[in-house]
Structure 1
Amino acid sequence: MRIGEMVRRTGVSERLLRYYEEQGLLSPTRLPSGYRVYGETDVDTVRRVRILLAAGLPTATIAQVLPCVRDDGPILAPVCPDLVATLRRERERIARAIEDLRSSQGLLDAVIAAGPQDTAPAVLQPASPH
Structure 2
Amino acid sequence: MMRIGELATRTHVSVRALRYYEEHTLLTPDRTPSGQRHYPESAVARVHLIQQLYAAGLSSRTIRDLLPCVLDDQATPELLHRLTEQRNTLTAKLTALTTTRDTLDRVIANAEANLRTGEACGGGE
With normalisation by structure 2, the TM-score equals 0.64
Match of 1:80 among 68, 75, 83: 75
Work out whether 1:46 is the aligned partner of 2:47: yes
Q: CA deviation at 1:88?
A: 1.3
Q: CA deviation at 1:8?
A: 1.2
Uncovered stretches (5+) of structure 2, i.e. residues with no partner: 94-121
Give me the whole-angstrom Cα distance separating, in 2, the residues matched to 1:51 and 1:79: 19
Q: Structure 1 segments of 4 or more deviating over 3 A?
A: 91-96
Query: Match of 2:67?
Result: 66
Give me the whole-angstrom Cα distance separating, in 1, the residues matched to 2:87 and 2:41: 30
SS in 1 for 2:26: coil
SS in 1 for 2:54: helix
Q: CA deviation at 1:91?
A: 3.5
Query: Match of 1:91?
Result: 87
Q: CA deviation at 1:80?
A: 2.3
Q: CA deviation at 1:85?
A: 1.8
Give me the whole-angstrom Cα distance separating, in 2, the residues matched to 1:79 and 1:31: 30
Q: CA deviation at 1:52?
A: 0.5
Give me the whole-angstrom Cα distance separating, in 2, the residues matched to 1:27 and 1:54: 21
- Report the identity percentage: 46
Determine which structure has greater relative contact order: mean sequence separation of CA pairs < 8 Å that are 6+ residues apart, divided by chain length.
2
The count of aligned residue pairs is 98
More helix by share: 2
Q: CA deviation at 1:94?
A: 5.7
Q: CA deviation at 1:53?
A: 0.5
Q: CA deviation at 1:55?
A: 0.8
